[in-house]
Amino acid sequence: MKIAIIAFVLCFIVLVNAETRVQQCKQAKGDGYRQTIKVGNCRKPTCKLKKNSVVKGEFRFVPDRDAKTLTNAVNAHIAGIPFPFIGVDETDACDQIYNPDGETKHGCPLKAGEEYVYKNQFEVLALYPR
């Protein structure tokens, strides 16, 4: 079973002005997802992202079903049009899955009802518009 990691909890969306907003994907359930998300040093959306930098992202989630594999689903919305986040979208997400302590790598597969931490870093490229 191939499940997009972000479908569990959220979608990262980078807007034209290089600010972050976090939005729950349509498939996800629950409303506490915003409290589990960290983007860089910012703890509350909206966060400004600096071009030519690397931003760390982290969130806690509990899958509602078992998953053998996970795929990153991250895109930028520029002028209202979704574009894949270069180097992240559609890549394997298993290497970014940790146990609840946030330090011990877990990887795949994942069990329904257990808590995990997703940790990754994203390049904010110079070509992204302001």
Answer whether residue 130 is part of any domain.
no
As for how many domains the chain has, the answer is 1
Answer whether residue 18 is part of any domain.
yes
- Reported pTM: 0.70
Q: What is the CATH number of the domain that holds 89?
A: 2.60.40.770
- Compute mean pLDDT per 10 residues along the chain, 130 residues long, and list them: 42 37 57 64 71 88 91 78 82 95 96 94 77
- Residue 84: per-residue pLDDT: 83
Identify the three-state secondary structure at position 55: strand
Answer whether residue 17 is part of any domain.
yes
Q: Give the helix/strand (H/E) hosting 84.
A: strand 81-84
Rounded distance between C-alpha atoms, residue 111 and residue 34, angstroms: 22
- Residue 55: per-residue pLDDT: 86
User: Helix H segments across 1-130?
Assistant: 5-9
Domain that holds residue 117: 2-124
Answer whether residue 129 is part of any domain.
no
Answer whether residue 99 is part of any domain.
yes
Q: What tokens appear for 12 in the block?
A: 């990262």
